Amino acid sequence: MRSDRAPLWLKLAAGAGLLFLHVPILIIFAYAFTTEDKSYQWPPPGLTLQWFAVTWNRPDVWEALSLSLRVAAVSTLIALVLGTLCAAAMARFRFFGREVISLLVILPIALPGIITGISLRSAFNLADIPFSYWTIVLGHATFCVVVVYNNAVARFRRTSASLVEASMDLGANGFQTFRHVILPNIATALLAGGMLAFALSFDEVIVTTFTAGQQQTLPIWMLEELVRPRQRPVTNVVAMVVVLVTFLPILGAYYLTRGTETVAGQGK
């Protein structure tokens, strides 16, 4: 017989696990309010809000944040277009080498970032492409495409192919069918995939290290800042912002894809 109540030791273990995962994040948050700026001292000797003002007035923070947002936005956009097209082809057609291509598309997210980073760097060098904003975007797009693809391909498989035929049968051309039938059916999957892609790109460090020139994305800026003993809590303020910026889209994606398990367009 199964008991509905978990034993006490299991509850304690689960609680301890959750604490281990999340207390460090809370500590980071706490340091954003400390009065001590040379070293991390626990407990904080005093609390202050001055670091928010300091952070606000630091142009390097703004530059890094702006670069990160622009990179994430453009990589996500590229990923949305390419990932959707690729997913549509995989879900609709059978062709020679289909499984291989499917594997190749997913590979970048399974590969260690350092491999992706090194290989892209040497490829850019070989092709004489100077490191710039666009090389960062390309690097990020490699794994963003995968996230969008995975979301879209699952939705395409659950959308009945006869919906497209029904639309054409009723007089809609390819464009109208895409706009009125395909897009509404895959929209939430694209939104979820896009949000995940954005979040992944926003806090990416390893690939960025290899594909960036002189620019600093926000995570790279934070790494640099940690080794400099000056206005340390500024890093913590930025860390808080990053956590929130990353967390909200993921939460949104979760709610959007919830409850879409039924097969769209299946009539029986």
Partner 1 sequence: MPAAVEFRDVCRFFGTVRAVDRVSMEIAEGEFFAMLGPSGSGKTTCLRLIAGFEQPTHGAVRIFGQDMTGVPPYRRAVNTVFQDYALFPHLNVLDNVAYGLMVAGRGRAERRREAEAALELVQLPGYGARRPGELSGGQRQRVALARALVMKPRVLLLDETLGALDLKLREQMQEELKALQRKVGITFVFVTHDQGEALSMADRIAVFNEGRIEQIGTPEEVYNRPAKPFVADFVGSSNVLPPEVTFAVAGRRAWASLRPEAIRLVGGGRPARVLATAFLGASTRLHLEMAGLDITMLLPRGAQVPQPGETVSIGWADGDLHLMESA
Give the footprint of partner 1 on this chain (CB under 8 A).
Answer: 160, 162-163, 165-173, 176, 180-181, 184-185, 262, 264-268
Cβ of residue 101: shortest distance to partner 1, in angstroms?
A: 21
Which residue carries 């939430």 as its tokens? 188
Nearer to partner 1, 23 or 187 (CB): 187
> What is the closest distance, in whole angstroms, from the C-beta atom of residue 185 to partner 1 in the complex?
6
Closer to partner 1 by CB, 15 or 174: give it. Answer: 174
Residue closer to partner 1 by CB (options 167, 211) is: 167
One-letter identity of residue 117: G
Minimum distance from residue 265 beta carbon to partner 1 (Å): 5
> Which tokens in the block code for residue 111?
């590969």
Residue 160 CB, nearest approach to partner 1 (Å): 6
Q: How far is the CB of 188 from partner 1 (least distance, A)?
A: 10
Q: Using the minimum distance from each CB to partner 1, give the nearer residue, 38 or 94.
A: 94
Give the 3-state secondary structure of residue 148.
Answer: helix
> 239 with 221: CB under 8 angstroms?
no
Q: Which is nearer to partner 1, 57 or 262 (CB)?
A: 262
CA distance 234 to 253: 29
Distances (CA, A) of 116 to 46, 121, 207, 216, 222: 44, 8, 7, 19, 22
Long-range contact list for 89-93, CB < 8 A, 24+ apart?
90/149, 90/153, 90/156, 91/153, 91/156, 91/157, 92/156, 92/161
